[in-house]
Structures are given as C-alpha cells and as structure tokens.
Structure 1
C-alpha cells in the first residue's frame, strides 16, 4: 500500500479520494509549518500533497528516500526545489487549471473596481458622505484591453472582456494565429499593446524574461491614463516605476492582487485613491480551493497506481488512458536499456531511440525516458524516468529520437543504439503477447525473452561452441532455462541469449571467454 502525506490544508475530499483508491493517508497540516518535523517523517511516504505553507527544500528531499511524487494544489511551485526533486527522481506536479476561472474572474472584478472606483466609493458612502461628483468612472464598453499573456487564464479573461464588448489585443510569444482567431483577439507585439490598450492586465509566469515587464520604459509608451491590473505574479510590474507613473498621471490607476514581496503589510502604493489592492485573492474561492485539492489527489493517485502523469513540471505527461497502452512498451524500452547498460564499456556519450510501426502513435517521451533510465542506472544510482534525461544532459549525452511509421517484421519495434568513446551497440525489441522480447542484436536476428539471470554471447559460427558452453555451465552447477540463437552476422558470427536458473559468476564468464569460438560474454540481470 502506498502512503501519502498531506501537510497543508487540502480538505476532506482529497483524503477521501486517496483512501478510496486504497492509499494510506496521513493528514497533518501542522507538519507543513515545521520543517524539522517534515524532515523527520518524510522518509516514510511515497507521495506528498501540499499547498503553499510546506517548503519542499533540498534538505527535505534529501530525507525523502521513498518519495515518488510531490503534488502542489495550485499553480505556484516556488516552494518546491524542482532541480533537487528531479535529481532525486521525484515527480513534481501542480494544478495549473483548477483555479483558472476564479483567477480570471478576480481580474475582471479588479478591472471593474478600478474603472468605477468601487472600494473608494464604498468607503466614502459608509462614512456618511455622498460624494457623487468625486467618483467619475471609466466605461469599459468599446475600450481596448491589452493582455500580457494569453494562456489558460488570459484566454478566459479575453472571453469575459469580449462579452463586455471590449476590444482585446494580446501579447504572447506562444499564441498561434489560429488560437488568436479562435479566441477573438488580435495578436500584437508588446510595443503595439502598450500604445493601444486602455487597460492592461497581466497573465504570465514570473521568469527572467517577464520580470518587471512593465518598467519605466514600458509605462512611458502607454496611453496617458492607462489602467494596470495584475492578478498574476508580483514582480511583473516594477512597483517603483508604477508609483512614479501614477504620480505623473501617465498611469490612471492600478489594481494589484500580488506584490513583489508578500505578505505586503506596508507599501508605498497603499493609501492612494488611484490604487485598489487585495491580499493575493486570485484563487480564493471555495470552488477553486476544492477543485485543486480534488485534482491533486487524483493526480497523485493516478501516478502511484497506474503511472499516469498530469501537469508534471519535470517529466513528460502520460494520461490515465495512455498509461495502460504505454506500459508494455515502457517495459520493453527499459529492458533494452538495462541490457545495453550492462554491456557498454565506459560512460555513455550518445543515445538513439527509434520507434517503428504502430508504437509511433503513442507518446514517445516516457519510452525514451525508460530506455535511458535503463542504460544509466547501470552506471549511476537513483536514475529513473523522472531524472534520466536531466542526468544524461548534465553528462553531455547526445539524445536522438526518431520514428519510422512502418515495421518490416513486427507491428511495432523499439530500436536502441548506445554509444561510448570506445563502443557502439544496437538492440531491437518487440512485444510478443504483451511481453518484451529481444529480436535483433546488431545485424543478427533472434527471438528471446528477458529473464532474471541471462548470458549474452557472441561467437564465431563454428561447430563445438554450444556443446563446450553447456559443459562449462554444467560444471558450475548452472541449469539452462532457455536458449535463443541468432546466426548470420556479416562477419560470420552468431549470438546466443541464454536464460539460467542461477546467476552466472564472473569466474564462469572468464571460462566461457577461453573457448576458441568465443568473442564476447556478458552476465545479465533483469
């Protein structure tokens, strides 16, 4: 039974979902606020479900010997050391869409509050004043809304704005022309957006490329009196530059739900009539909190139980529908990689994988990761599907993936070529009744199943070798379980894949290599 720790307030639904799938749950939100306690207990768990209070640091990860997945209920993962998790083979997932509608609605609400000065008018009216002439608002109908970022949340904001009969322009390097037409927005560059927008709202992650995207220079290019709305990430707007632009009148008002430093209990923008502030409420609705809790519980359960990967930040996604179809091919890829890893000499420098036939219709990424993990774990500890490609890239391994949509002899094959400074070897596998088989080694065809203990032999194709091999194994008390032979190498050689009931020792391998026909011999373990 898998064990999952919920160390933040996720609610009863998350517990119910995990327990309903036969996963043992420890629900203790206090642990998330106690790093020392978290490090004490984390080694007992396969999964960790969190919100923002739990800090999954490199120190915590170093103690998480059994941890396979961290799930963040929400979009932000600033509290997770993703490189450390990846290096330890731990999948990191979030729920980027669970609070999208809620956040988009908050941005629209902030735009209305800013345009009609609703917070200020409310305060004045409840203070017994009737300052009707003081609060002259902005009509949104017919105005141009500029979206910086038109992903999931930005596209919802665009839809709502179009319902208000606003014109929408969007700056997003990843927005395709087809998607722009579908959303009914005009795709423009940033400078054009700044010049045309009456209201600018931000919906982009905080990266080195987006940090302070609205700075002094950018704000100077905007329309006089533009309104700025930020419900995305603190740091997208240069707050000093915004203050100066408000002072000069270049910016007519700002509505901020996020700040560069949070919690923001003091700020130079506070107390201004032209600024509306909320305490990071974008995702703060009962529906959103419930949605992300349910979603992350389902994602963790799917990953642990069936290998499905949703919304992962450090590995390829695999849907729950794909996982059963992919499972036998992932197993085949991993077996080929494990074989190759036990045979190659020296550090891996090149890795090529080719999918041929019907397997091309499946998600290639997890098969590539499985094969690569199989190769590299024979040289390094702790390599798995999550971190295999990162580990390979750190070591300068050149990774090549290709597909061939026809397969001459099988419905599907996976071909793996591994290279070192001294060596290059190719192995091809296929499925027989859903079970992995080796069907080619180099240029020699054969058909052999994988077993716990095996010998892979190459020899000159001349009489006497098989008999002499049998004698050596018999003298060592090793029983042959299966024997698969392939002949016809271009150099007059043959391949034998031999399964044995007992492991074959190094001493026995050395004796095999003394046979005059023997060219190579490897004891394999799967």
Structure 2
C-alpha cells in the first residue's frame, strides 16, 4: 500500500516538522517556501495538508488537490478554509483550537492592564521622548471593577478566572453553555446582554460567524457607560470598527485594546491614529510555547487523519458538534481508536460490531456507532474508502451487523464505552473511558483490566500466567533492537495479557519469535 502524503503548505514550528519527518508510514513534503501557484502542482498527490493563514484552501486549491482527504489548519481561525467546499468534496477540515489558549488569554490580560494604566504611552514618553511626567499617567485599578466577558469558552473562562484573581466583579454572557459552568467559578451568568453593556470593561471571546459579526455596534455602545474600556483579542469584526473608531474619538470609549482587525495586515487602519487605543498585530498565538503546541498538535492530527484513525477537532463531520455536549467528542474519538485496535488484533472478516455504553454517553449511541464502524473498517478498506458519511452504508453493503445498547452503569466510571467485534475467528472486545475533560484510556481488553493510553505502537501478547514470560519477551525484543517504552499486564483466572508499548516498528519475524514462547497463546501488533 502506498504511503499517504502530508504536505506542509505554510511555516510551522520546527517541532511539528520533526514529528512529520520521523513518521515512517507517511510521505512528508515541505512546501511552505514555494510560490502558491507552484503549490497547486505539489498538492495534487496529497492526502493531507497543513496550512496556516498564508494559504487559501479555496476552490482553486481543492480542484487541484484531487486526492485530498483532510485539511489541518494550524491554529484556531479557519477564515481561509472553504468549509462548505471541503464538505462537498468529502474533505475533512480540522483546526487546532486549544493550543494557543494560554497565549491568547495572557495577551488579553496584557491589553487590559495596558488600557487601565496606559502603559504603552507612558513607556513611549519616557523611553522615546526622555520626558519624566508622572502627572500625565493617572490610570485606573482593576480591583472592584465590573468586567463583562462575552463568550465563556476555552479562553473566555480563563480570562474570567484571572480577572477574579484581580478581585474584579465578573459577568459573562454565553447562551451556549450551562450557567453552572460560570457560577461554579464564582462568575455571574446572565442571559440579558444589557448586563454586559453596563460593565466598566468588556472583553469578547467568541468565534466569528453571522451571529457575532458587528456584535458590538453604535446601538450597543450607546448603552454603555461613558469611559468604558473594550478589549478584542478574538477575531476582527466582532466590534464594528467604524463605531469603535467614532466612539474612541469622542471618548465615549475611554480606551480599547485591539489585537485583531477586519482586514489584515492593518497597517493603515484609522484606529492607529488614535491616542487611546493599544494595538498589536494579531499576536494572540505568538508565544514560543503556543507555536510549539500548535505545530505538534497539527502534525499529530495530520498523521492521524493520514492513517484514517481519527480526525481531532474536525469542523465538518456529519455530526453537528454544536448540538452535543463537549464531553461527547473525546468518547467518539476513543471509540474509533478502540475499534481500530481490535481490527488489528484480528484481521479476519468482520461479521458484527456492537457498541455498549454506560452513563450519559449512552444518549449518543448513533454517533458512537458511526465512529466505531470507521475505526473497524479502516484496517481493511483504508481511509480512502471509509469515512463518517458512508460508514453505515459500507457496513450494510458488506453484511456487517451493527448493534448498540445502553447498559446499566455498574462500573466505577461515570461513563464507559465498550466495542465488541465478531469475526469468523471469535469475539474481541475493549472498553474505555475519559478522565478529566479529554484524557482517553482503554480500561479493559478481552476482560483483562488495563490502563492504556490509546496511542503508539503496541504488541499484544496473550499467554498462560506462568513464570518467565516477561523475561523472554524482554530478551527477544532486545535482540531485535526494539525498545520497550511501557509494559502493561492484565491478569485473570484464564491467564494474562501483556500490552507492550514500543518505540520501534515491529516486523512479522519478531512477532513470530514472540509467538514461539512456550506460554504464548496469541500475538498481535497494532499501531494507533
């Protein structure tokens, strides 16, 4: 089978490039430095591309990329990605929404403090003009001020927490969250937008869409207090820029901290002429730590999609993620990985796939079914023939019976998903759960208790529970030059199952040597 090709269209941190270079089962092409017209020739063979903001994934690009299966936007915003165009062509579009969370949060606080104390102007007067006039720079304290946070997602809620640390009165407006998400943190939750407009300071942290473009305009500003301070480190156009300019000029708005503009680069923007605005050139993600996280996550997401085993943070799946709770998404990906693992343990023809769910996740069995089918059939069909759209149809066409059921929650976990795959050789099953918000764990394989992160290269050795097996395994792998990074052992009355996580590729000859261990019952190799 030909290796899938991943093309990097724009500059990303070297850490991400190293991951791609060192992944043996993909072809990696670096095309960030070539002309965008020449890029159209390069991407014709790509299954996956990684882009930032310099490359438009538009009709011309998609027409050229005839083999494209997935697009990874190395960042949060996808303004340069034609999501509808991708969907029509069966291309999965993904972003990396959380890697710059801390960086954007801290930049928001930087603008907030700069506006309150007019720091850039005080700095410039002393450093550039060499003028010492303390009386020019009477600022305001954050303590006791009321701040309105529009949008209480990954960044908004972290801004709120930091404002609480300054002993501010924090109010948030976000119709898409449960009120307890805010109130549990000591933040006031409101459904009345006028409560936000009544605040001393307002900061916005929403995506850019038809609901949020020009969310703050002349009408909203007219309701605000005289001397209000506005912050926007989210997306350009959330504040109507003409209204923002007019009201900054009249001093209705005392100060504004702006990192993002409607059209960028904004080197000639009228806001730059005002003396009551702090501006930066879209620096929300510009920290060393953030760029490292963005690049590594984008690279790993590209590898997963190239292998067809997962599409983290996909934006155009046939499941409307805006209508499912955030806790569901990690379970969908985990279910696909578990099915993919089982399919590698037994590569014979699949007769049936069964999904069992315990807890609240059982309300989403239809979605779990889709992801389980994709995971189970990717091993045999390849990612080019099975996807979330055609999964059920392909399973039906192959005569594979699909079942799902809600189970009584008798486990120690709040939610649990079990995947059982029947072939003409027998039944294999695995169960998993999510710890915290998105920490995936496999907790059983064929009734053996485990605690495994579903990622990496794995040898699965079923054996009689007798002395010497672990030593024999270690000796064989050492002789083969294969390094063991982790070793997990499950035991029950029937024997033992070892899951050996290794750093190196495992060849069939090595598996044959392991199967010749006297106590061995079965040996398989999986890569997730």
TM-score range, shorter chain: 0.5 to 0.7
Partner Cα separation in structure 2 for residue 26 and residue 274 of structure 1: 46
Partner Cα separation in structure 2 for residue 276 and residue 412 of structure 1: 53
Task: Say whether 1:30 aligns with 2:33.
Answer: yes
Q: CA deviation at 1:362?
A: 8.2
TM, length-normalised to structure 1: 0.66
Match for residue 167 of structure 2?
A: 165
Partner Cα separation in structure 1 for residue 47 and residue 240 of structure 2: 41
Q: What's the RMSD between the two structures over aligned residues?
A: 3.8
Partner Cα separation in structure 1 for residue 403 and residue 130 of structure 2: 73
Match for residue 110 of structure 2?
A: 109
Asked if structure 2 preserves the Cα contact closer than 8 Å seen for 1:89 and 1:386, the reply is no
Task: Say whether 1:324 aligns with 2:337.
Answer: yes
Match for residue 41 of structure 1?
A: 42
Partner Cα separation in structure 2 for residue 157 and residue 226 of structure 1: 18
Partner Cα separation in structure 1 for residue 368 and residue 43 of structure 2: 27
Equivalent runs, 1:144-223 vs 2, <5 Å: 144-223=146-225
Equivalent runs, 1:462-473 vs 2, <5 Å: none
Asked if structure 2 preserves the Cα contact closer than 8 Å seen for 1:370 and 1:384, the reply is no
Asked if structure 2 preserves the Cα contact closer than 8 Å seen for 1:307 and 1:318, the reply is no
The structure having more radius of gyration, on CA atoms, is 1
Sort the Cα spacing of 1:354 and 1:214 in 2 relative to 1 into closer, same or farther, 3 A. farther
Q: CA deviation at 1:2?
A: 2.2
Q: Deviations over 1:53-101 (max 9, x none)?
A: 1111122112222222211110011111111112222211111000010
Equivalent runs, 1:63-74 vs 2, <5 Å: 63-74=64-75
Partner Cα separation in structure 2 for residue 78 and residue 251 of structure 1: 29
Asked if structure 2 preserves the Cα contact closer than 8 Å seen for 1:7 and 1:27, the reply is yes
- Where does structure 1 lack aligned partners over 5 or more consecutive residues? 340-352, 375-381, 392-400, 415-428, 437-526
Partner Cα separation in structure 2 for residue 99 and residue 266 of structure 1: 27
SS in 1 for 2:131: coil
Give 1:300's match in structure 2, choosing from 295, 302, 307. 302
TM, length-normalised to structure 2: 0.65
Equivalent runs, 1:378-393 vs 2, <5 Å: 385-388=387-390
Asked if structure 2 preserves the Cα contact closer than 8 Å seen for 1:86 and 1:386, the reply is no
Partner Cα separation in structure 2 for residue 195 and residue 60 of structure 1: 42
Equivalent runs, 1:87-486 vs 2, <5 Å: 87-126=88-127, 127-305=129-307, 307-315=309-317, 321-327=334-340, 364-365=366-367, 367-368=369-370, 385-388=387-390, 404-405=405-406, 433-434=426-427
Partner Cα separation in structure 1 for residue 310 and residue 15 of structure 2: 20
Sort the Cα spacing of 1:197 and 1:330 in 2 relative to 1 into closer, same or farther, 3 A. farther
Partner Cα separation in structure 2 for residue 190 and residue 431 of structure 1: 56
Partner Cα separation in structure 2 for residue 234 and residue 63 of structure 1: 30
Sort the Cα spacing of 1:330 and 1:240 in 2 relative to 1 into closer, same or farther, 3 A. farther
Sort the Cα spacing of 1:86 and 1:318 in 2 relative to 1 into closer, same or farther, 3 A. farther
- Where does structure 2 lack aligned partners over 5 or more consecutive residues? 320-328, 377-383, 394-401, 409-416, 430-528
Sort the Cα spacing of 1:362 and 1:308 in 2 relative to 1 into closer, same or farther, 3 A. farther
